[in-house]
Amino acid sequence: MNILIVDDEANIRKTVKMYLKNHGHVCTLAGSIEEALSCSKLDRFDLAFLDLRLGADNGLDLITALLGDNPELKIVVMTAYSSVDTAVSAMKLGAFDYIGKPFNPAQIDVIVAKAEKIRNMENRLAVLDSDMQSLHPDGVLDSANPAMRRILQMAHQAAVSDAIVLLRGESGTGKTVLAKAIHQWSSRAGAPFGVVSCPSLSPELLASELFGHVKGAFTGAVRDNPGRVAACDHGTLFLDEIGDLPPAIQPQLLRFIQDKEYEPVGAAGTHRADVRIIAATNVPLEEAVCQKRFREDLFFRLNVFQLEMPPLRERPEDIDRLAAGMLQFFAQKNHKTIRGFSPEAVQALHAYNWPGNLRELRNAVERGVILAVADTVTLEHLPAALSNRASVGSPDQLCTLSELEKHHIARVIALTSSLQEAADKLGIDQTTLWRKRKQYNL
């Protein structure tokens, strides 16, 4: 663990540091409240040993400030003037434990083991909470397709190392799900898994999201933000759509990958974090390098272990199983009893090209389950893009303008993750989209 030792006696600081360092921990020393606050601003600690008598100062005054910088910090108060009253006061302020001087190595071992166990439990709970919030039955981790099975085998092999993994493939092929699986298969499974979507924020906000910022760094920065890199220390950070990473952020990411060092926005000091990087892209990074939109040295750093996710149209043998799993998932979620798909619906699922891949299939099945009134999802319950594929949008067939609009709106809805995103793609507001959906029964 990363441990802060705050004591005004140099011999105690050095002795405790030497003992903890010999047991595999990293220690930082501070002899005063000012030094401790400075260390807390520059680094993120798992555990702090805090002496209550710091010269003329009271160590109790430091507890609130340290927890303000890092609410997850476990503070162990230590003092030669131990009493029930001071222990209660420390606990009320948020201290994790209490130890009286003089103490022996066995007492240190017990406290450190307890703090480490609780930290690991908190990390696991955070991972489980993230998984519950993003639960979806994409079925990426099982396949009858030979190419996909090879990808999964190589992903297992890559997981046991700390190598950077670059996931490539069209949008919706399940790159995020595979990234989570690689994390779970790795030795970092007990630590956090974070996701940052590179094109979702401006360069300034993305830098803050990744590397954090200090209070007052920019307008609206009313408190310190540790950032995703710090939050994923000892874990994995997934950078989605890395090809859209703004040029201004690329040198900072390259530095972090090379040296494990970074600087929060507005901070004067350098921070370190042990984070594994998994990146994903649906665009050819080689072309972005040629067009000077992506740094060549960053591309080479990211392209250590590359996995190409096949599109759903190249996995026809998986469609029945994937659709069936999704159907059962959404039937249970919507408290329905649904037996399966009608023969016409199954035929449409196989005939469609699935440009939106697993995400589009998921949306289509969810829509079918919601609209089904009996125990079977029929062709009419599926999106118009599937049921009208033979008659609408084909260059050899003529259709009315309203039919074309209906087909296009249905297709955009199927390919996007929210109605707001669909409205943005169509260039209309969400109210207009709602009216069009009602008009076309979408």
Q: What is the DSSP string of 215-226?
A: TTSSTT--S-B-
Please give the radius of gyration of the chain, using alpha carbons only, rounded to the nearest integer: 27
pLDDT at 251 over 50: yes
Q: How far is CA 295 from the centre of its chain?
A: 24
Q: Are 223 and 264 in contact (CB under 8 A)?
A: no
DSSP letter string over 246-298? Answer: -TTTHHHHHHHHHHSEE--BT-SS-EE---EEEEEESS-HHHHHHTTSS-HHH
Residues 6+ apart with CB under 8 A from 144: 317, 318, 321
Q: How many Cβ atoms are within 10 Å of 432's Cβ, its own excluded?
A: 12
- What is the reported pTM? 0.63
pLDDT at 428 over 50: yes
Q: Looking at residue 405, what is its pLDDT?
A: 83
Each residue of 359-414: pLDDT tens digit?
899 999 999 999 998 999 999 999 988 876 444 444 445 567 777 788 788 878 87
Cα distances (Å, whole numbers) of residue 126 to 114, 216, 235: 18, 28, 12
Looking at residues 61-85, what average pLDDT do you find? 83
Looking at residues 130-148, what average pLDDT do you find? 68
Q: Looking at residue 315, what is its pLDDT?
A: 93
Each residue of 263-288: pLDDT tens digit?
988 888 889 999 999 999 998 999 99
pLDDT at 416 over 80: no
Tell me the domains of the chain and their CATH numbers. Answer: 2-121 (3.40.50.2300), 134-310 (3.40.50.300), 314-440 (1.10.8.60)
- 102 preceded by cis ω (within 30°)? yes
Which residue, 358, 351, 374, is CA-closest to 311?
358
Each residue of 285-332: pLDDT tens digit?
999 999 999 999 999 999 999 999 999 999 999 999 999 999 998 998
Angle between helices 430-440 and 419-426 (to 10 degrees): 100
Range among 109-118, 137-146, 196-205, 419-428 with highest mean pLDDT value: 109-118
